[in-house]
Structure 1
């Protein structure tokens, strides 16, 4: 490290002693000061010395008045070097010591300990610092393992160790549903999933109704999205998902997550929560198509090439009528699909939507149930993979002598329990109630059809988007209607 302009800055002499140390080891502040001042005289720094003395303070904490004063001088660029007689005068905790040295280096300040011949301004001093850093990193990993174990144990006990989410209160470290807020959570999921409102519209409606978020703040797009994606509302505990060690928070690899299902009181049922996530992950429709006064604008596709079909006009000046025409045909001439009268296509669509109820029990519902099973099975596989990865790390820690055999056995039992629970869940998924899903779909279809017949097209389309993903024209009177439900 090159220290620039050191002639205009001071050399800081830092001395510390606690009452216990002076009685036990005979360490005195006078002795420390004399040794450090003698070193400065030998190096020709005698005229640039500034003294910082903490009398009667332990090295277990960095909360010391003169150390804080020293930090202020360093941050103001007034110190070129910090000197101590021994490393433990600065701190007895390696992590604290390295944190302080790192802060010194950020401000181009050398750190010197005369007893250990430690000087971060020399190659040997920097090498020693790297070795200490490696040791500290090892210690951080051990601490991390212990924290993970404690969090996993707490989660299995149903305990919550951070601030409670909106909709809950904390009682003896256990989440308890707070019904006034839980009612708002259910309302937000309904507005997004069943009424077709986006994040901004939901935030605006809640703010207009005078419903505050946590700490009496107004709702925002971000706060609504975070609430709608938080798995706590379906009773799932997720920890260690975000890396907050850097300025920019990042999502960690899912193998490092701690995920435990059904260990918290749920406000939203799992099926509703999953449907909300699926809707968020679908491609959005262009704003212009959303506000189009034509029922199938933005979701009608060409059965010949797959391109979107846009609205146009045909016929004579006195007898003009709306048509749906393939965009690839209209703009590029690359598709030979014909145009269709819009009124006819929309009539086919309404007939097809109404007839879906007749095929629910025979075709549609079994297909949707199978898709739900596949999705749930994938999540179970992720939990098993994460459990196996944790066990693998514990095996490595046991081999290195970092943990006891009992810890390894507990992790193995935990892994086997997760595998067994997921196998049991597979059997339970086979018993999905088809009739319940059928009833939900019939009710949804009726609500959408009523909206189309009774509301303005722009308002009806908002509800239609909560049921239908896309409609494909296959030919005269032939449509393929794809639903959003699973």
Structure 2
């Protein structure tokens, strides 16, 4: 009897976790085993070889695996051969899904050579157990690798692919850093400028003006990194320093000789999505390499960064820090001093306008003394009202809250109605999709793709509906909130000056509008004060 001919795919996979097993699972070893097998069995006609090198078996979103499934869906392949079950995958639920559901449905034969498993002959009862063991081995290997890395970390080794700006990898000592004098002077300059009182914005502008290459440019010229930023761009691109560049350098303990590990991690050994770990999970190892910056300088800079938001040399400018917002773009207002005037004065203007000029926003310029006088007058007004007639003020606050609540409620109700309607549509599409798949009107591949899409949208809509529902529940201006604010402002009865503690206790934000010329020719400017607990009141 003539044997059937199978259009066969050879599938090979190797992850970094498999390297501990040596040559027994290498790509070349897998290829040798599979090539010898098909030579001995002429009914297998190899049409394609798919190789996923560096991909975990717990992840079934591997590029070559997905390409192989596309070929299977297209009817070009009806047999898949791997060296063993673990090369196909190490997640027992997905293994069962493919071996017991997908492949039988698509009439695809699967063979695991070394495990002596063949769907055409019937899989043995031990396959589920083998898959569980393979998954356990993936988990155990992940645990061992983490343990090995932790041992390296505790030993002071740096295993990062790239050296931080200011350092190079040591040419003789593995996982060791050495100072790179070509770039370390830039790091020293940045810390020196900050130590002597210069802010992040001014430092980044100074470095750009002095045409000092940024960290990305050195990475691009040395190893080809950041090519999408610099390739084919003008020369000026290499000198552009951002506030993020400077801030990251100033806050990095690498420059005092320390290494911090576990800033990020993965959800699990199965889910490789990267998440940021809380600081209590960080692992800090001191003295792993030579420092560029002295520890006392670094600490002084950290204190300056923390305090710069609240103090300036005249002790009067930063009481509004973090409170002032541009009415049009939402950016923070930036403090400055007009020193060229005969009588120097302080002012604020839109931060976006400061950075981008006319391309970003308008200036929203306001003098510090005018802002100070207005805010002090408003707080004195409400303080006097609270002392004179608390019940009348409470009634006014609740009335204002009703207006704001109704406006917010109207908007949120419309959004909630729209999201609820769309979720019902997606639920209906999901049901129809399943019917189409069950009736064979769409392929397995398209079913899986669309399922993932609709599940993502369902999840996003559910989250949005929950958020809007919660907002509708909490948008109320309650009597308790109003009383809390009245009690708070009574503590600052008849204030004669503004301080940062007073402002931050009473005020949520201050919104500055662009000034306009009134009918009488005078400049007019709206300032909105949003108070804690109660929001904006007139």
TM-score (norm 1): 0.44
Normalised TM-score (structure 2)? 0.41
